[in-house]
Amino acid sequence: MTALSRDQLRGLMEQVLAAQGKTLPDDEGANLRQIGFRSLDFSELALRVEDEIDEELNFEAAGLRQIDTVADVLDLIEEIQAQ
């Protein structure tokens, strides 16, 4: 599996938000609720990553955690890719 870089992940996240008419702020500390990044958007981001790396992501292995910010999303997917 060729893991996507954090910049590439940000790029995909931007695309997900753009399709909803929203923008991704530069600040990774931005709150997901405030920028309108919802569960469905997170799901779409995961599918975009899977399509890029041509492999299914295993979210179960990452365990349950609070995901509040842009950084939380990027951290989680980076971590799953590294497994």
Partner 1 sequence: MTRSRLSRADFPGAGSTLVDGRTGRSCTWEELPAAPYAPPAAAVVDDSYAALPFVWEHARSGGELLVVARSRMEPALRTELLEAGFSMVGSERPEQPPAAARREAEPGRLWLLTSGSTGRPKRIGHTLETLTTVAGTQAPRRWLCPYSPGTYAWWQVVTLSLAQPGQDLVVVDPADLETWTAVALEHGVTAASGTPTFWRQTVMRSGAELARVPLEQISLGGEPVDQAVLDQLRERFPDARISWIYASSEVGASIVVHDGMAGFPVEWLDQDREGRPRISVVDDELVIVSPHHGAGLEGAVHTGDRVVVADGRVQITGRLDRDEINVGGAKVSAGMVRGVLQAHPSVAWARVSGRKAPLVGRVVVADVVPAGGADQGEAGLTEALTAWCQERLPDYGVPRRIRFLDAIPAKETLKSDV
How wide is the angle at C-alpha 52 spanned by C-alphas 51 and 54, nearest 5°? 60
- CB closer to partner 1, 24 vs 44: 44
Reading the block at residue 14, the tokens are: 């931007």
CA dihedral 57, 63, 65, 70 (to 10 degrees): -20
Restricting to residues 18-77, name those near partner 1 by CB under 8 A: 19, 39-40, 42-44, 46-48, 51, 56-57, 59
Asked if 83 touches partner 1 (CB under 8 A), the answer is: no
Cβ 53 vs Cβ 81: under 8 Å: yes
Asked if 4 touches partner 1 (CB under 8 A), the answer is: no
Give min distance, CB of 54 to partner 1, in A: 13
Positions in the binding site for partner 1 (CB under 8 A) = 19, 39-40, 42-44, 46-48, 51, 56-57, 59
